[in-house]
């Protein structure tokens, strides 16, 4: 397309954020119609700002209350920063939702729009619209918002473990490497969140699926966050949604980059990239790697198709935690998701079923090690059976929460 991409692809902020005008909720299974509960009210789309704010079941906070709950947005309350602005830790009373003393009541994460932010008001409104209507155990819960004068803020549930990005790529005592089992648990939870968004009742394309937007609660349950780029999926006989390219470089599907045609399978490609990151411990794009290894998908593909070579892409910190058969099955899921032709990518409900089977499988056999390497000390990973120590609260660098 002749477009110069930065790390985050930004070309427009969508205004059509009607979620097909449905109020949707799920009990968490979100795949089979028998286990998914929906209620709907159908105002016309696209909805106006007033309609979005009035129809949501969200708490409208005053700026003064959020200022108090975050201790005046003190620097030591910052949890992270992104394109939208900074995210602060705060406390509110569980019943009244009014500001509470630090250390008491309900812990929250308050995202404050930077006045110079290029993402701006429309993405703030998109988050209110989508997360005000969509409810699922694998979507982060939006408690409320603040729209007062020039102030734009969003109030979320607090996610104690921070972002998946930090656990995979940051080093230090706060971030022990996630074990293989925890990585597969997170992958399954994130897949369930995407499958819910893509379901026939919801039909939402997330458009910015990446490790920074997958947040973890205290039990490492994954929840999708940051819906500023979300888009209603195609309706009727339409095969795609035409839009300017937005998202994050390295995660965006090739056909979307080339044509601007957005489908649910664009998200599937992004999921495949993230699954590869979880298996390999490598970033989607890493210019610090040797030549030929900058792009994770291009580097990994030759190894994914050969069961005997799969171990070469698996994170070295996971030695002894997986069998070759299980690693190959996980790699095969990733390979299908990143197919160049979107028609060959699976639907997310298929991915969920395969990951569930992988998690429930009782595969036997010796754990796989690189046969060319000598046995060496392996740093214990978070989630190992003998690891009973809790991980301190992480400080995300660019996580939405």
**How far from 86 is each of 102, 161, 401, CA to CA, in Å?**
19, 17, 9
208 catalytic per annotation: yes
pTM: 0.80
Which residue pairs, CB below 8 angstroms and at least 24 apart, start in 143-149?
143/58, 143/59, 143/97, 143/108, 144/58, 144/59, 144/60, 144/61, 144/97, 145/53, 145/58, 145/59, 145/60, 145/61, 146/60, 146/61, 146/62, 146/63, 146/66, 147/53, 147/60, 148/62, 148/63, 149/63
Q: What is the rounded CA–CA span in Å between residue 27 and residue 32?
A: 11
How far is 83 from 113, CA to CA, in rounded Å?
9
Which segments of 93-182 are extended strands (E)?
106-113, 134-135, 142-148, 151-157, 162-163
| Domain segments of the chain as ranges | 11-157, 162-360
Q: Which of 50, 149, 208, 384 is catalytic?
A: 208
pLDDT digits (tens, 9 = 90+) for 176-199: 789 999 999 999 999 999 999 999
- What is residue 295's DSSP assignment? B
Give the per-residue pLDDT at 52: 74
Residue numbers in the known binding site are 111
* Average pLDDT by stretches of 10, the chain with 401 residues: 43 37 40 33 52 78 95 91 86 92 93 75 85 93 92 94 93 79 97 94 91 96 92 75 82 93 95 98 95 95 90 93 93 97 97 94 48 42 46 36 34
- In this chain, the answer to whether the domains covering 11-157 and 162-360 adopt an identical fold is no
| Homologous superfamily in CATH for domain 162-360 | Transferase(Phosphotransferase) domain 1 (1.10.510.10)
**DSSP result, 110-123:** EEEE-TT-SSHHHH
Angle separating helix axes 324-337 and 296-304, nearest 10 degrees: 130
CATH of 11-157, one of 3.40.50.970, 2.60.40.10, 3.90.190.10, 3.30.200.20: 3.30.200.20
* pLDDT given at position 379: 47
Identify the pLDDT of residue 364.
Answer: 34
Question: What is the Rg, in whole angstroms, of the alpha carbon atoms belonging to the chain?
Answer: 21
DSSP state of 308: G
Pairing of strands 24-25, 134-135: parallel
Sequence ranges of the binding site for ATP: 111
pLDDT at 365: 38
* pLDDT computed for residue 241 by the predictor: 79
């Amino acid at each position: 397309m002749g477009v110069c991409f930065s790390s985050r692809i930004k070309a427009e902020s969508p205004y059509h954020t009607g979620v097909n005008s449905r109020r949707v909720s799920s009990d968490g299974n979100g795949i089979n119609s028998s286990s998914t509960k929906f209620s709907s009210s159908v105002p016309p789309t696209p909805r106006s700002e007033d309609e979005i704010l009035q129809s949501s079941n969200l708490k409208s906070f005053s700026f003064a209350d959020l200022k108090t709950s975050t201790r005046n947005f003190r620097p030591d309350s910052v949890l992270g920063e992104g394109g939208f602005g900074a995210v602060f830790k705060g406390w509110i009373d569980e019943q009244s939702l009014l500001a509470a003393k630090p250390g008491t009541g309900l812990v929250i994460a308050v995202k404050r729009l930077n006045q110079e932010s290029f993402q701006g008001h429309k993405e703030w409104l998109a988050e209110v619209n989508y997360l005000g209507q969509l409810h699922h155990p694998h979507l982060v819960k939006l408690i409320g918002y603040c729209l007062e004068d020039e102030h734009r803020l969003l109030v979320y549930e607090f996610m104690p473990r921070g972002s998946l990005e930090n656990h995979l790529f940051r080093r230090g005592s706060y971030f022990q490497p996630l074990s293989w089992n925890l990585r597969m648990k997170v992958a399954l939870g994130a897949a369930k969140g995407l499958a819910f968004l893509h379901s026939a009742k919801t039909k939402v394309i997330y458009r910015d699926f990446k490790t920074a937007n997958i947040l973890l609660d205290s039990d490492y349950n994954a929840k999708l966050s940051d819906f500023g780029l979300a888009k209603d999926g195609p309706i009727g006989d339409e095969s795609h949604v035409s839009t300017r390219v937005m998202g994050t470089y390295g995660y965006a599907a090739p056909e979307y980059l080339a044509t601007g045609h957005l489908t649910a399978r664009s998200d599937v490609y992004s999921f495949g990239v993230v699954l590869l990151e979880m298996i390999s411990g490598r970033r989607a794009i890493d210019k610090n790697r040797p030549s030929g290894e900058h792009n994770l998908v291009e580097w990994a593909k030759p190894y994914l198709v050969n069961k005997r070579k799969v171990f070469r892409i698996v994170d070295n910190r996971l030695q002894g935690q997986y069998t070759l058969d299980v690693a190959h099955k996980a790699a095969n899921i990733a390979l299908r998701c990143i197919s160049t032709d979107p028609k060959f990518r699976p639907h997310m409900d298929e991915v969920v079923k395969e990951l569930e089977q992988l998690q429930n499988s009782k595969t036997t056999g010796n754990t796989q090690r690189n046969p060319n390497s000598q046995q060496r000390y392996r740093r214990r990973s978070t989630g190992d059976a003998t690891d009973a120590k809790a991980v301190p609260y992480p400080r995300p660098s660019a996580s939405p929460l």
